[in-house]
Copies of this chain bind each other. A is one copy, B any other.
């Protein structure tokens, strides 16, 4: 039987945070505490992903998940991407636009070989044959959706569960077609998706507290997935300038400035200056801005790289991940008991 979110000791899933805060230590700590840890396969070479998976397994025997980026959409306007790259090149060191699939086939083969418990997919819906291949290798396949239409597509492709992402979420929107992003809040998305699919749901976007966890369980989710809430944990690899911004109460906004795909970050100088002109074009724009983001991060310049964070980031606390899992679960339990007295 594939792993189901209803089997968790605590209904807490750690969100994969590609190219950022995720580490094997974080995933292992969450799983060890009775939640479900996640590795982000995005932006990793297959060998590095293999090492990360082995590192988690050295720390815990419990199930954990790995998140894959689905192959990207075509870029509608390459000229616009080139223009954006040239404009940035006047002020920054930039990379070449490149339209790659992040090693999709190699990573699928690796996850099948290593028999990972849960494989989640973001940025689109894989074909049924791909889903079945992972399932034959023992994986539960969770597909990230943002609308009831996407939920129907994912269910038809054979998904075992749906990750329902609200617009509150930090980092990339999971919308299948980023040229037409929607703005469904998590609670609306959960109610709409629950009416379109009977699959188990895992809710993500702006959940930062036990009350938030309780809310999505009450809305019908089997578990809550939290990313930003874990970014201040000692096990996370969050850059110092990013930690500082998460702990402050700055506003977040959606932007394509960093990667060419809609994502939510804490508004900083780069995001403010380039969001209006940034074209649709993932991962091409990601490769263009990679050098300037790396440089800013290395210099501790929080105004120069992507400060991915969900809307409730100011509530994140610098707590070890396992302790956070236990605390969120206990607070959620208390919140549900309290709410029951109002009805």
Contacts and interface: CB of A to CB of B under 8 A. Distances in A.
B214 A343 contact: yes
Contacts of A216: 187, 215
A342 interface: yes
B167 A183 contact: yes
B343 A218 contact: no
Interface in A196-222: 205-209, 211-212, 214-220, 222
B206 A188 contact: yes
A336 interface: yes
Interface size class of A (residues with CB under 8 A): 35 or more
A187 B184 contact: no
A187 B212 contact: yes
A251 interface: yes
Interface string A235-277: 0000000000000010101100000000000000000000000
A187 B214 contact: no
Interface of A: 6, 10-11, 148, 166-168, 182-192, 194-195, 205-209, 211-212, 214-220, 222-223, 249, 251, 253-254, 310-312, 314-315, 329, 332-333, 335-337, 339-340, 342-343
Contacts of A218: 211, 214-215, 217-218, 332, 335-336, 339
A315 B211 contact: no
Contacts of A185: 166-168, 185-187, 205-206, 311
Contact of A336 (B187, B205, B336): B336
B192 A343 contact: no
Given A187-B166, A343-B333, A215 B206 contact: no
A339 B217 contact: yes
B188 A168 contact: yes
A122 B79 CA distance: 46
> Interface centre among A6, A194, A219, A254, by most B CB within 10 Å?
A219
Contact of A219 (B183, B205, B214): B214
A195 B311 contact: no
A194 to B, nearest CB: 7
B315 A191 contact: yes
A53 B190 CA distance: 37
A11 B342 CA distance: 7
Contacts of A166: 185, 187
A15 to B, nearest CB: 15
